């Protein structure tokens, strides 16, 4: 029960009204190319994402239900910490570009999820919310984030997205 209350509070903090104007020129996303594993390298996170190590988002297209099944897994506190998992469901909200989704940790909550920027080869992406309060920078490869993250930050800043107060996620995979 504590987890449900905490998650409800968390989601209320990141909630953004669909009526809120999207201020960014969002890229067109090929959903099939977007599916798969994404290592969370850096971002401006929610209070539930503290002490994340080896953060990994996995997106799977669920053809039967016409939605995206999302799984966020990580080690809590250290590389040897307990494995945590946060399953979610996502629906494409803007079919013109596939870059604005609604994501739900559980019914009836659904929150905005924006693909702010993405590499043409789908090797990295930057995800945000309309309010710009949160940001997730992810890559298909967890190695060398110190080379990649600053480049992505400059790109999203040029688009007008706030990229201040970025926290790096440590990775050390076998």
How many angstroms separate the CA atoms of 79 and 166, rounded?
20
Predicted structure pTM score: 0.87
pLDDT of 154: 96
How many angstroms separate the CA atoms of 9 and 102, rounded?
18
Q: Which residues pair with 32 in a beta bridge?
A: none
pLDDT of 109: 87
pLDDT of 16: 44
pLDDT-flagged residues of the chain (< 70): 1-24
Contact 131, 17 (CB under 8 A): no
pLDDT of 20: 52
pLDDT of 88: 95
């Amino acid at each position: 029960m504590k987890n449900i209350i905490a998650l409800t509070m968390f989601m209320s903090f990141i909630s953004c009204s669909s009526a809120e104007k999207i201020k960014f020129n969002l890229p067109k996303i090929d959903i099939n190319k977007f599916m798969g594993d994404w290592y969370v390298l850096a971002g401006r996170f929610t209070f539930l994402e503290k002490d994340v190590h080896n953060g990994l988002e996995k997106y799977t297209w669920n053809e039967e239900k016409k939605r995206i099944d999302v799984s966020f897994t990580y080690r809590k506190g250290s590389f040897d910490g307990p494995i945590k998992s946060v399953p979610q469901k996502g629906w494409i909200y803007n079919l013109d570009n596939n870059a604005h989704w609604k994501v739900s940790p559980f019914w009836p909550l659904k929150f905005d999820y924006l693909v702010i920027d993405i590499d043409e080869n789908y090797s990295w992406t930057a995800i945000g919310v309309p309010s710009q309060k949160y940001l997730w920078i992810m890559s298909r490869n967890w190695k060398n984030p110190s080379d990649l993250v600053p480049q992505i930050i400059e790109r999203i800043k040029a688009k007008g997205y706030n990229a201040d107060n970025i926290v790096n996620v440590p990775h050390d995979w076998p």
